Amino acid sequence: MKRGYAVIKVKEETILYQNDAFRKDDVRERILLNDDTELWISGEDERYEDAMKLLDEARQENQAKETFLSNMSHDIRTPMNAIIGLTSLAKNHIDEKARVADSLNKIEVASGHLLSLINEVLDMSRINSGRLTINEEHFWLSDLLHEVLTVIKPQMEEKHHHLIFRTGDILYESLYGDTLRLRQIFVNIINNSVKYTNENGEILVSFGQEMQDERCYLCFRCQDNGIGMSEDFLKKIFDPFERANSTTISRIEGTGLGMSIVKKLIETLDGTIEISSVLNEGTCVDIRIPLRYEKAKVDIQALKGRNILILENDPEIRQKIAQYLKDDDIAYKETASFSEAISLLTDDEFRGEKTDVLLLGEIGEATGDLFDVASYLHKAHPEMTIVLVGDQDWNDIEYRANRSGIEHFVPLPLFRKSLINGIAAALSEHDQGPASTGLDLSGKRILLVEDNFINREIAKEILFATNVTIDVAENGQEALDRYLSGTHYDAILMDVQMPVMNGYEASRAIRSSGKDDAATIKIFAMTANTFAEDIAKAKEAGMDSHIAKPIDIHKLMQALRTI
């Protein structure tokens, strides 16, 4: 008969742990473990060491679970306390918008943290029960890396870390794999570096590819100058529920499951992970994962015969852009300074040549920012497509970028596919109109309200290039009549000073007309009057924004981009 073991809490006779063979009616031996706990052994007599070993395992497993529960209860309570406390704080100060906004922001962070804790616990449970599945799908390496960067950047910035992002040899940009899991692995590792590195640290992240046995390995490295790990801890790094303790940084929150999950995921993907670390010096993680690939072609037809100007102060990036263009025989000029760019564009202007695309990157030590540069160049060369090449978050800057005349964005790190496709997409949008205004308003209808014949003709000439349908009214009353006649307009370009009815009155009448789109139709004031008070007056009259006269392409396109 197999021996059975059970750990019994004596007074209440509660079973804390037992193996399958334990029979309470057949207890042969009782070993006192501490004041109120005993080990009860049942069944046939076997080696005592076996029993002790089992007991030890049981204790360890129990200990880890207790630690996990204790950690989890703290880790869940911390953000939950924050959410409850901040909600109450916000309610108490409901009339103070700034304070409520601040509380909501903090609640958002705490909720996000809580969600990630829950996700990790669920992941671990899935892995342990063998329910983890891998979904292989096609993806572009550039997309994956940009997603990873987008996720980790806010945390990096919060701790003021300096991120050095490098790409080594990229052999194949078109790959197959489980992007969800790959992203999870890379984000987890980088997040650890962010967490375990004191503020203003340096984190190097690099991606490259290697061929081995006809397989393409994606090689990832994340190296930091953080608190590092002791040799002892390094041995247990992949054990579930283990976390580094540190007195040098504030308490780190997390489940302690992250590295364990990462290891299991990498193993499932047939990859390897190696970690080296020195206490108080930093940690380096190397990951290699084999991926299926294909030799995908990027369509460069749209770029053939085009002239491209690269304005990029960073020599490494400038060289890389130039190399990609050169490889595909695409004509380009390059410069590091905006004044040289202006000079090159003047050259073209003087010779009657045309620069089709400006790739705008870092502008170096200029006083203004790149939006000032874009806006200026767009004003001077409205026919040129401006594509921003940068490491910004496009969502954050899109509005300002569009207002400055930037039509497309190519994110860094730079890949051939994203560069060529980015330029092609920008050109394709830009080329929709016959005079290359960069804006296609086909299918849209605009009401142009202007009493001056020449101004009308100029506005029509500019608008013609956008393929928009234009109706004309010569004063505010006529504009109102046309609007009320039932024709649907997407926007109204409204002169302000006009006979019969001025622009303010007409706008007010349109807004209060009760027509379905009366509140939403865009009305742009067109006037040379730029008194701040009158601009405010135009807004009060219901106009959305203001286009300064005399009209030029840049100003008009800036406004029409918003419809």
Partner 1 sequence: MQEYQLRYIENTKEIAALLDVSKGEDSETEKIRRLAAKEKIDALKKENVDLLNRHLFTCLDELHAASPDTIRELEEFADVLMDWKSNLDCGIYLLIHESLLTLYRFRRDRNNTIKELYKVGMGMYYRSRSVQGITSNLTNSLYFEGEMMFSEAASYLKYFAEIDDDETKGYIIRSLANTAICVRDLKKKVEIGLRVLQIIQDPFYQQLAPNLPWDVFLQRTHQQMSSNRAIMSRGNLSADELAAVLESCEYVFEPEAHKGDPNVRWLWPYYEMEYSCGFVDIDTTLDRMERLILEADEHSFELSDMYAKCQLPIYYGTLLRRNEKLRNRPKRMRFLKEAYDRMLGVIMDYPLEKDIEYFSYLTVLIITDYYETEGVPSYLEITSKLLRKLSGISYLNSLKAMKITVYLCDILLKEDPSFFDDIPFIAEETDPEKKKELLFRYGETCALYCDFGLLKMNMERLTHTRNLLDKEYEIYQLHTVSGHDDLAARESTKIYADCAYGHHAWYSGSGGYPEGYVRSESPYRQMTAVIALVAYLVENYEHGMDLRELVDTEKRRFSPLLIALMMDEEHLKAVQTLLEQ
d(C-alpha 256, C-alpha 240), whole Å: 6
The reply to whether 458 sits near partner 1 by the rule CB under 8 A is yes
The residue (of 116 and 455) whose beta carbon lies closer to partner 1 is 455
The residue (of 12 and 350) whose beta carbon lies closer to partner 1 is 350
526 touches 494 (CB < 8 A):
yes
d(C-alpha 371, C-alpha 452), whole Å: 33
Strand ranges, E, within 349-404: 357-360, 385-390
Binding mask 300-339 for partner 1 (x = CB under 8 A): --------------------------------------xx
Residue 213: CB partners within 8 Å, gap ≥ 6?
A: none
324 touches 167 (CB < 8 A):
no
Identify the residue among 234, 249, 284, 535 touching partner 1 (CB under 8 A): 535
Tell me how far, at minimum, the Cβ of 125 lies from partner 1, in Å.
Answer: 43
The reply to whether 527 sits near partner 1 by the rule CB under 8 A is yes
The residue (of 323 and 530) whose beta carbon lies closer to partner 1 is 530
384 touches 357 (CB < 8 A):
yes
Tell me how far, at minimum, the Cβ of 229 lies from partner 1, in Å.
Answer: 39
Q: Using the rule CB under 8 A, give the single segment among 276-284, 397-405, 418-426, 452-460 that binds partner 1.
A: 452-460
383-399 per-residue burial string, b: 16 or more CB within 10 A, e: under 16: ebbbbbbbbeeeeebee
The residue (of 421 and 527) whose beta carbon lies closer to partner 1 is 527
Q: Using the rule CB under 8 A, give the single segment among 136-144, 231-239, 408-416, 527-535 that binds partner 1.
A: 527-535
Identify the residue among 4, 110, 549, 560 touching partner 1 (CB under 8 A): 549
Identify the residue among 534, 545, 561, 563 touching partner 1 (CB under 8 A): 534
List the one residue out of 394, 409, 422 whose CA is nearest residue 324: 422
478-504 per-residue burial string, b: 16 or more CB within 10 A, e: under 16: bbbebbeeeeebbbbbbbbebeebbbb
Identify the residue among 49, 199, 396, 533 touching partner 1 (CB under 8 A): 533
Q: H or E element: which one contains 76?
A: helix 48-92
Binding mask 379-398 for partner 1 (x = CB under 8 A): xx------------------
The residue (of 213 and 531) whose beta carbon lies closer to partner 1 is 531
d(C-alpha 410, C-alpha 431), whole Å: 19
Tell me how far, at minimum, the Cβ of 337 lies from partner 1, in Å.
Answer: 9
Backbone angles phi, psi at 95, to 5 degrees: -85, -5
Long-range contacts of 425-428 (CB under 8 A, 24+ apart): 426/357, 426/385, 426/387, 427/302, 427/303, 427/306, 427/356, 427/357, 427/385, 428/302
The residue (of 131 and 532) whose beta carbon lies closer to partner 1 is 532
The reply to whether 552 sits near partner 1 by the rule CB under 8 A is yes
d(C-alpha 30, C-alpha 40), whole Å: 5
The residue (of 124 and 560) whose beta carbon lies closer to partner 1 is 560
Q: Using the rule CB under 8 A, give the single segment among 75-83, 183-191, 384-392, 453-461 that binds partner 1.
A: 453-461
Strand ranges, E, within 267-365: 272-278, 282-294, 307-311, 331-335, 357-360
Identify the residue among 44, 45, 50, 96 touching partner 1 (CB under 8 A): 96
Identify the residue among 20, 49, 95, 231 touching partner 1 (CB under 8 A): 95
The residue (of 146 and 549) whose beta carbon lies closer to partner 1 is 549
For 72, the 3-state DSSP assignment is helix
How many degrees, rounded to 5, is the angle at CA 545 between CA 540 and CA 547?
Answer: 130
Tell me how far, at minimum, the Cβ of 382 lies from partner 1, in Å.
Answer: 9
The residue (of 174 and 455) whose beta carbon lies closer to partner 1 is 455
Identify the residue among 31, 529, 561, 563 touching partner 1 (CB under 8 A): 529
Tell me how far, at minimum, the Cβ of 541 lies from partner 1, in Å.
Answer: 16
The residue (of 141 and 462) whose beta carbon lies closer to partner 1 is 462
9 touches 36 (CB < 8 A):
yes
Identify the residue among 319, 452, 513, 545 touching partner 1 (CB under 8 A): 452
169 touches 208 (CB < 8 A):
yes
169 touches 207 (CB < 8 A):
no
Tell me how far, at minimum, the Cβ of 471 lies from partner 1, in Å.
Answer: 21
Count of positions (residues) in the chain:
563
Q: Using the rule CB under 8 A, give the single segment among 50-58, 96-104, 156-164, 326-334 that binds partner 1.
A: 96-104
d(C-alpha 183, C-alpha 186), whole Å: 5
Tell me how far, at minimum, the Cβ of 181 lies from partner 1, in Å.
Answer: 41
Binding mask 342-381 for partner 1 (x = CB under 8 A): xx-xxx--x--------------xxxxx--xx--x--xx-
- Number of residues binding to partner 1, judged by CB under 8 A: 46
557 touches 461 (CB < 8 A):
no
The residue (of 289 and 449) whose beta carbon lies closer to partner 1 is 449
Cis geometry, peptide bond prior to residue 240 (ω within 30 degrees of 0): no
The residue (of 211 and 435) whose beta carbon lies closer to partner 1 is 435
90 touches 99 (CB < 8 A):
yes
Near partner 1 in 464-523, by CB under 8 A:
495, 497
Contact set with partner 1 (CB under 8 A): 95-99, 101-102, 338-339, 342-343, 345-347, 350, 365-369, 372-373, 376, 379-380, 452-455, 458, 495, 497, 527-535, 546, 549-552
